[in-house]
């Protein structure tokens, strides 16, 4: 039945669906984006005068945008050390300006101390204006703003500091190490997540919509700023989706692979397929695949591996377990042959807390004995 509301309702629904689909496609594209390009997007967001106005408001206005730090994570100490190949001369002309800004930033850090730098500038979770930060640090307001700009400029070039990249393999692009997984007994799983890049370490943005409503009631935004506001918030939402997805994947990997990360024993890895991880996180398998592509992590013993290496399938994990059993029995195939498949199933369940079928054990054992 036709009504006065029908066509309009269908049109609005269609527009909303198209809008959500467009947002999803943009988010997927952002996930696949190299970290250097993502850092440039963050640079663009935080260089926007409207962002700075809402992030560093005057004292008479509430803060609209702030950062929320990731739990059990930090910026890796390697950021404060120039990568060896970047330090070796001659310096390429295209990175010379960034290298100069990086040196300026490190000089600031050394002057005020790493703790104060990370508290007031890197994370900046407190609702402080430039003037208030200046009071806390003993700097001039102009210096505070310059340091903020230095962070943005110096960290766009992710190749300058931190761990070196893995070499390309089988025609795949070079890997980028996004995090260092470090042993830390103070963390619940005994492993801390240390981001190698500031744009990841700084956490996600949080928008206080009540504070924004107050700004609008008090007519604190110009006509041009009101026009730009929606576009800015959309960019923030998309970059939040990207970084939150990456954090959730790494968090889940650490939780699942704690035994391996703490012991360095491959037999302590747990089966974690991309499909099962996607199901656990409520994401599409293709999203996990995009997250893992071309990204690597540095393990607690300073070995850099592709992120996908920590998403091993059941057969791959079982190979490591049976290999360890074989080695413990004298590195000879004969003793392993004397054990029945069912005996191995029980041994693996008892000693490795890994539940596998007799058929799977038989398949993997045959492959090892070829």
> Predicted confidence band at 7 (pLDDT cuts at 50, 70, 90)?
very low
Query: What sign does the dihedral 148-150-152-155 (CA atoms) show?
Result: negative
Cα–Cα distance, 114 to 117 (Å, whole number):
5
What is the model's pLDDT at position 101?
Answer: 74
Task: Say which residues have a Cβ less than 8 Å from residue 273's Cβ, sequence separation at least 6.
Answer: 311, 313, 314
> Predicted confidence band at 317 (pLDDT cuts at 50, 70, 90)?
confident
Cα–Cα distance, 206 to 64 (Å, whole number):
8
> What does the pLDDT average to over 271-297?
93
Cα–Cα distance, 200 to 214 (Å, whole number):
30
Query: What sign does the dihedral 250-252-254-260 (CA atoms) show?
Result: negative
pLDDT > 70: percent of the chain: 80
* Residue 174 to residues 124, 194, 196, 305, Cα–Cα distance (Å): 32, 21, 16, 12
Q: How many CB atoms lie within 10 A of CB 70?
A: 21
H or E element that contains 232:
helix 223-256
Query: What sign does the dihedral 249-251-256-262 (CA atoms) show?
Result: positive
Closest residue by Cα to residue 179 from 267, 310, 6, 368: 310
- Range of lowest pLDDT (31-35, 60-64, 154-158, 344-348): 154-158
The alpha carbon torsion through 127, 195, 265, 321 (nearest 10 deg) reads 90
- pTM metric for this prediction: 0.82
* Residue 284 to residues 107, 123, 279, 351, Cα–Cα distance (Å): 44, 31, 7, 33
Judged by DSSP in three states, 254 sits in helix
For residues 236 and 205, the answer to whether their CB atoms sit within 8 Å is yes
């Amino acid at each position: 039945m036709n009504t006065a509301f029908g066509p309009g309702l269908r049109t609005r629904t269609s527009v909303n669906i198209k809008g959500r689909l467009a947002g999803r496609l943009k988010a997927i594209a952002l996930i696949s984006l190299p970290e250097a390009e993502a850092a440039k997007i963050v640079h663009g967001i935080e260089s926007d005068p409207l962002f700075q106005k809402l992030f560093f408001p005057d004292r008479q206005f509430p803060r609209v945008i702030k950062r929320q730090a990731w739990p059990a994570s930090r910026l890796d100490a390697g950021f404060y050390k120039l990568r060896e190949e970047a330090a070796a001369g001659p310096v390429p002309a295209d990175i010379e300006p960034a290298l100069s800004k990086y040196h300026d930033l490190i000089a600031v850090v050394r002057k005020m101390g790493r703790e104060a730098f990370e508290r007031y500038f890197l994370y900046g979770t407190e609702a402080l204006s430039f003037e208030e930060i200046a009071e806390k640090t003993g700097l001039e307001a102009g210096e505070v703003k310059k340091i903020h700009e230095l962070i943005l400029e110096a960290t766009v070039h992710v190749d300058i500091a931190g761990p070196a990249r893995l070499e390309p393999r089988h025609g795949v692009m070079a890997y980028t190490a996004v995090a260092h997984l470090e042993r830390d007994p103070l963390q619940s799983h005994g492993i801390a997540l240390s981001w190698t890049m500031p744009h990841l370490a700084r956490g996600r943005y949080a928008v206080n919509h009540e504070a924004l409503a107050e700004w609008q009631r008090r007519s604190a935004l110009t006509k041009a700023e009101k026009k730009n506001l929606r576009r800015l918030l959309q960019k923030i939402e998309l970059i939040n989706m990207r970084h939150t997805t990456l954090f959730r994947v790494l968090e889940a990997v650490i939780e699942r692979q704690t035994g391996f990360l703490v012991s360095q024993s491959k037999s302590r890895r747990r089966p974690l397929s991309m499909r099962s991880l996607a199901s656990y996180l409520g994401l599409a398998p293709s999203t996990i695949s995009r997250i893992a592509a071309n990204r690597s992590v540095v393990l607690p013993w300073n070995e850099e591996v592709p992120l996908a290496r920590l998403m091993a399938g059941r057969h791959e994990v079982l190979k490591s377990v049976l290999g360890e059993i074989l080695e413990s029995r004298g590195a000879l195939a004969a003793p392993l042959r004397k054990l029945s498949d069912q005996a191995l199933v029980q041994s693996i369940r008892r000693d490795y807390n890994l539940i596998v079928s007799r058929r799977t054990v038989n398949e993997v054992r045959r492959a090892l004995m070829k």
